[in-house]
Structure 1
Amino acid sequence: MPTAQFEDLLVEMLAHPPNPNEPLPLANRKETIFGSAITFLIISWLAVALRLYTRLWIVRDPGLDDLFVTLSAICNTVATSFVLISVKYGLGRHFLYLPVPSMTKYFLFFYVENATYVTQTALIKISLLFQYLRIFKGGFMKWMSIAEIAIIGIWGFTFGFMAWFPCFPVKGFWNRITTHPTCYGFGFHDAESFVVTFEVHTAMNMVFDLAVFLTPMVLFKRKELKRKNFLALTGVFTIGAIVVFTSIWRMISIVETRAATDPYIDFTWWSAKAVILSCLEINLAIICASMPIFWPVFEKSLAHIFVTREVHIMEHQRLDDRGAEYELERFNSYTGSKLERGESIKSSSGASETLKRERTTDDPDPFAHYKDRFVIELVDPLAGGNTKSPGVETKIKGPPRSKWKI
Structure 2
Amino acid sequence: MSNHERVLLAMLQHPPDPNEPLPPANRRATIFGTTLSFLILSSIAVLFRLYVRVRIVREPGWDDVCILVAATLDIIASIFVCLAVDYGGLGHHMLYLKPEAAENYLLYFYVAHAIYITNTAVIKASLLLQFLRIFKAGYMRWTCLGLLALVSLWGLGFSIVAWFPCFPVRGYWQRTTEARCYGFGFSNVDDFVNIYKAHSASNMAFDVAIFLTPLVLFGRPNLKPKSLLAMAGVFAFGGIVVAASIWRLYAISSNQAATYPYYDFTWWSPPMIILSCLEIDLAIMCASMPIFWPIIEKSLTTIFVSYEVKVTEERIDDDYGLAYELEHSRSRREGSMRSTSGTSVEGLTKDEDENKAPKYSVGIDPLSEEANMRFQTSIQSKPRPHWAI
TM-score (norm 1): 0.75
Structure-2 separation of matches of 1:181 and 1:310: 71
Q: What SS class does the counterpart of residue 17 from structure 1 fall into?
A: coil
Unpaired stretches in structure 2, ≥5 consecutive residues: 309-338, 345-389
8 Å Cα contact 1:90/1:268 also seen in 2: yes
User: 227, 241, 259: which is aligned to 2:257?
Assistant: 259
Structure-1 separation of matches of 2:54 and 2:266: 42
Structure-1 separation of matches of 2:222 and 2:181: 56
Matches within 5 A, 1:3-402: 4-88=2-86, 89-177=88-176, 179-304=177-302, 306-309=303-306
Structure-1 separation of matches of 2:131 and 2:6: 50
Q: Match of 1:365?
A: none
Displacement of 1:210: 0.4
Displacement of 1:191: 1.3
8 Å Cα contact 1:259/1:271 also seen in 2: yes
Structure-1 separation of matches of 2:126 and 2:307: 42
For residue 168 of structure 2, what is the amino acid of its counterpart?
P
Displacement of 1:53: 0.6
Displacement of 1:301: 1.6
For residue 42 of structure 2, what is the amino acid of its counterpart?
S
For residue 90 of structure 1, what is the amino acid of its counterpart?
G
Q: Match of 2:360?
A: none
> Between the two proteins, what is the percent identity of the paired residues?
52
Displacement of 1:297: 1.1
Structure-2 separation of matches of 1:261 and 1:26: 20
Following superposition, which runs of at least 4 residues in structure 1 exceed 3 angstroms of deviation? 308-311
Displacement of 1:302: 2.1
Displacement of 1:404: 4.1
Q: Match of 2:323?
A: none
Q: What SS class does the counterpart of residue 75 from structure 1 fall into?
A: helix
8 Å Cα contact 1:296/1:404 also seen in 2: no
Structure-2 separation of matches of 1:4 and 1:284: 40
For residue 403 of structure 1, what is the amino acid of its counterpart?
S
Displacement of 1:20: 1.3
Structure-1 separation of matches of 2:128 and 2:307: 42
Q: Match of 2:367?
A: none
Structure-1 separation of matches of 2:3 and 2:117: 26
Larger Rg: 1
The answer to whether structure 1 residue 405 and structure 2 residue 370 are counterparts is no
TM-score (norm 2): 0.78
Q: What SS class does the counterpart of residue 19 from structure 1 fall into?
A: coil
For residue 74 of structure 1, what is the amino acid of its counterpart?
T
Kindly provide the CA deviation profile for residues 354-402 of structure 1, in whole angstroms up to 9, marking residues without a partner as x.
xxxxxxxxxxxxxxxxxxxxxxxxxxxxxxxxxxxxxxxxxxxxxxx98
Displacement of 1:298: 1.5
Q: Match of 2:378?
A: none
Q: What SS class does the counterpart of residue 261 from structure 2 fall into?
A: coil
Displacement of 1:276: 0.5
Displacement of 1:18: 0.9
| 1:228–1:42 distance in 2 versus 1, CA, 3 Å | same
Structure-2 separation of matches of 1:107 and 1:249: 24
Displacement of 1:224: 3.3
Structure-2 separation of matches of 1:181 and 1:98: 23
Q: CA RMSD in A?
A: 1.5
For residue 307 of structure 1, what is the amino acid of its counterpart?
F
Displacement of 1:156: 0.2
Structure-2 separation of matches of 1:33 and 1:181: 32
| 1:149–1:131 distance in 2 versus 1, CA, 3 Å | same
Kindly provide the CA deviation profile for residues 186-213 of structure 1, in whole angstroms up to 9, marking residues without a partner as x.
0011111110110100000000000000
Displacement of 1:307: 2.3
Structure-1 separation of matches of 2:69 and 2:44: 15
For residue 96 of structure 2, what is the amino acid of its counterpart?
Y
Structure-2 separation of matches of 1:402 and 1:81: 44
Displacement of 1:310: 8.9
Q: What SS class does the counterpart of residue 193 from structure 1 fall into?
A: helix
Q: What SS class does the counterpart of residue 219 from structure 1 fall into?
A: helix
Kindly provide the CA deviation profile for residues 66-86 of structure 1, in whole angstroms up to 9, marking residues without a partner as x.
011111111111111100110
8 Å Cα contact 1:119/1:160 also seen in 2: yes
Displacement of 1:308: 3.6
8 Å Cα contact 1:229/1:404 also seen in 2: no
For residue 108 of structure 1, what is the amino acid of its counterpart?
L
Residues paired across the two proteins, number:
313
For residue 183 of structure 1, what is the amino acid of its counterpart?
C
Structure-2 separation of matches of 1:213 and 1:190: 35
Structure-1 separation of matches of 2:82 and 2:74: 12
Structure-2 separation of matches of 1:8 and 1:280: 33
Unpaired stretches in structure 1, ≥5 consecutive residues: 312-400
Displacement of 1:303: 2.3
